[in-house]
């Protein structure tokens, strides 16, 4: 499978997906750690991909999403953004609303 197809399958196959450096239990950069904390505070399960463990995804995801940095949060196939955007959304309460609605829609379908 082509790497772009693999990324597309991951994005479309996971309602809430975080591309990050490391894992939620062991983030490998401060930006990934902050993003995971904000996401975990929403109380819903999410999938993740460690871009450090997969060089092909790490080098091609910025082209796929037209977003140059990591982490990247995708919800329902749409790129939400990176650490700063996720942190701002968390502070305003917008992130929790988005994540809860996405998780609820996943349970219904």
State how far Cα 95 lies from the chain centre: 12
- Quickly state the pLDDT bin for 106 (edges 50, 70, 90): confident
How many other C-beta atoms can be found within 10 angstroms of the C-beta atom of residue 25?
6
pLDDT over threshold 80, residue 47: yes
Q: What per-residue confidence (pLDDT) applies to 109?
A: 59
Which tens digit of pLDDT belongs to each residue from 73-95? 999 999 999 999 999 999 999 99
Cα–Cα distance for residue pair 60/78, rounded to 1 Å: 17
- The annotation status of 83 as a binding-site residue, yes or no, is yes
3-96 to CATH, choices 3.40.30.10, 3.40.50.300, 3.20.20.60, 3.60.15.10: 3.40.30.10
- The annotation status of 91 as a binding-site residue, yes or no, is no
- The annotation status of 84 as a binding-site residue, yes or no, is yes
- The annotation status of 42 as a binding-site residue, yes or no, is no
Which pTM does this prediction carry? Answer: 0.95
Q: What per-residue confidence (pLDDT) applies to 26?
A: 97
Task: Judge contact between 89 and 57, C-beta under 8 A.
Answer: no
Task: Judge contact between 87 and 34, C-beta under 8 A.
Answer: yes
Q: What per-residue confidence (pLDDT) applies to 85?
A: 98
């Amino acid at each position: 499978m082509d790497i772009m197809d693999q990324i597309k399958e991951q994005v479309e196959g996971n309602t809430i997906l975080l591309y990050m450096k490391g894992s939620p239990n062991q983030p490998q950069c401060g930006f990934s750690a902050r993003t995971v904390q904000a996401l975990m505070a929403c109380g819903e399960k999410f999938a993740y991909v460690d871009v450090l463990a997969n060089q092909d995804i790490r080098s091609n995801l910025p082209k796929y999403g037209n977003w140059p940095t990591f982490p990247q949060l995708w919800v329902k196939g749409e790129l939400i953004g990176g650490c700063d955007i996720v942190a701002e959304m968390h502070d305003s309460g917008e992130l929790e609303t988005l994540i809860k609605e996405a998780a609820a829609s996943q349970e219904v379908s």
